[in-house]
């Protein structure tokens, strides 16, 4: 029986909700998320992700154990040589009319692959901003978490790691590294055979080309727009720079390492003196694992280096979209982000706003020993925004035409 006292309590509750609509929204989100958790339980997420780094493979395996323990979700890591392979599979399914029960549940993606999937309607969502951990993401301080190669993500992918281009050098052979792009070119010419970069279309090789573009273009702001009619004029300084250093590269530019691990091995074997990485903590992690000499250190070029976020996206026809959302949210858990930033694990930079975290979570990050070779956030310098994806595609094609065939 509802008494006058009960009516009063109901009225007070209704007033509280009216005065605090955020509370009502929070309750709605919580109910919606519980439905996602329930739907995702006992599902297997087929996560298509680059498989070229054993440390990343180990992290994904560990994450799978966490997902199983916390949510009853399994992760199967489909190891890719190229993200484009997963995109092509989803596209083929769309063209075949397969609108559900797709083979791909989650993709580690960014750049031109995200742009292609978004353009062709291959993405599930938007989902990212509905994840319970989304409020922890540092949208204001790290705008790359909502902009992928100049393209707004609009909730169709969720960030899980920050990256920035760094250079690595062995101080035993090169005590003071070059600080500018021009100085790097001079050093390469003075030390033939001691520098190289991964062969495009490898992402790290293309990132080096884009870094050079930033340094030689008269108006690098053009890179935030699609490559247009002035492309040949805009990129002429890039090819002039590369033509100049090409004969002085490792193996006289007649061969290139295929990817980042292959490049890193050249530094470890003392075949080159300067290497590249898109992970500022990589060198410290490799030193800790005994794969690099303790004398290796990290440096950046004056004026900043290219930075971006790594994302996960869910295909439009994913068989297990609920479980994929749970995994995306799990990747944003502070303790998992802190584990990924540990140089002994991955050394990835976090996407979270540390100031917004509870003290216990902040302390987990503050207690990390980032390692002897990892630059502080201040020394890492500004992260230059990724160019529009069209630049990456065109310069990759042109590079192969100019340098991809041994002459």
pLDDT tens, residue order, the chain (407 aa):
444 344 344 344 444 444 455 445 455 556 799 999 999 999 999 999 999 889 899 999 999 999 999 999 999 999 998 899 999 999 999 999 999 999 999 999 988 899 899 999 999 999 999 999 999 999 988 888 999 988 999 999 999 999 899 999 999 999 999 999 999 999 999 999 999 999 998 989 999 999 999 999 999 999 999 999 999 999 999 999 999 999 999 999 999 999 999 999 999 999 999 999 998 988 998 898 899 999 999 999 999 999 889 999 999 999 999 999 999 999 999 999 999 998 888 888 899 999 889 999 999 998 898 899 999 877 888 888 889 888 988 999 999 999 985 44
38-161+309-371 homologous superfamily: Periplasmic binding protein-like II (3.40.190.10)
Classified by CATH at the fold level, domain 166-307+383-403 comes out as D-Maltodextrin-Binding Protein; domain 2 (3.40.190)
CA distances from 57 to 154, 162, 217, 262, 345 (A): 28, 18, 37, 16, 11
- Domains of the chain, residue spans: 38-161+309-371, 166-307+383-403
Angle at 275 between CA 269 and CA 281, to 5 degrees: 100
Distance between CA atoms of residues 195 and 261, nearest Å: 15
Distance between CA atoms of residues 21 and 223, nearest Å: 42
The token pair at 136 is 């922890």
pLDDT of residue 4: 39
Distance between CA atoms of residues 203 and 212, nearest Å: 14
Distance between CA atoms of residues 298 and 282, nearest Å: 9
Is it true that 38-161+309-371 and 166-307+383-403 share their CATH fold? yes
Helix (H), strand (E) at residue 299: strand 296-299
Q: What is the pTM of this model?
A: 0.75
CA neighbor of 318 nearest in space, from 150, 155, 127, 163: 127
pLDDT of residue 141: 82
CA neighbor of 349 nearest in space, from 167, 162, 148: 162
């Amino acid at each position: 029986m509802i008494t006058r006292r009960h009516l009063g309590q109901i009225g007070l509750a209704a007033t509280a909700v009216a005065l605090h609509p955020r509370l009502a929204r929070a309750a709605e989100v919580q109910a919606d998320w519980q439905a996602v958790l329930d739907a995702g339980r006992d599902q297997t997420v087929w996560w298509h992700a680059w498989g070229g780094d054993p440390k990343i493979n180990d992290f994904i395996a560990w994450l799978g154990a966490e997902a199983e323990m916390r949510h009853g979700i399994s992760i199967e890591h489909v190891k890719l040589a190229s993200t484009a392979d997963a995109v092509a599979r989803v596209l083929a399914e769309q063209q075949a009319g397969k609108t559900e029960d797709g083979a791909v549940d989650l993709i580690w993606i960014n750049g031109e692959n995200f742009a292609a999937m978004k353009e062709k309607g291959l993405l599930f969502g938007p989902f990212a901003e509905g994840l319970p951990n989304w409020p922890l993401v540092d949208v204001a301080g790290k705008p790359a978490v909502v902009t992928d190669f100049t393209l707004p993500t609009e909730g169709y992918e969720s960030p899980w790691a920050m990256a920035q281009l760094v250079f690595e050098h062995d101080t035993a052979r090169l005590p003071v590294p070059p600080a500018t792009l021009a100085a790097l070119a001079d050093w390469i010419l003075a030390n033939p055979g001691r520098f190289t970069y991964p062969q495009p279309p490898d992402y790290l090789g293309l990132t080096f080309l884009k870094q050079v573009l930033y340094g030689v273009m008269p108006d690098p702001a053009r890179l935030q727009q699609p490559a247009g009619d002035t492309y040949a004029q805009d990129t002429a300084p890039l090819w002039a720079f590369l033509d100049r250093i090409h004969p002085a590269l490792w193996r006289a530019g007649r061969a290139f390492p295929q990817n980042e691990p292959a490049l890193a091995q050249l530094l470890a074997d003392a075949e080159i003196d300067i290497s590249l990485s898109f992970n500022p903590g990589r060198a410290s992690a490799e030193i800790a694992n005994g794969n690099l000499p303790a004398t290796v250190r990290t440096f950046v070029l004056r004026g900043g280096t290219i930075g971006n976020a790594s994302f996960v996206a869910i295909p439009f026809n994913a068989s297990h979209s609920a479980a994929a959302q749970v995994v995306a949210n799990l990747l944003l858990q502070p303790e998992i982000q802190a584990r990924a930033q540990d140089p002994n694990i991955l050394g990835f930079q976090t996407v979270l706003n540390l100031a917004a975290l509870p003290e216990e979570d902040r302390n987990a990050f503050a207690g990390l020993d980032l390692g002897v070779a990892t630059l502080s956030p201040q020394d890492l310098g500004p992260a230059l925004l990724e160019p529009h994806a069209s630049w990456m595609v065109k310069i990759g094609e042109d590079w192969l035409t100019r340098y991809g065939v041994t002459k």
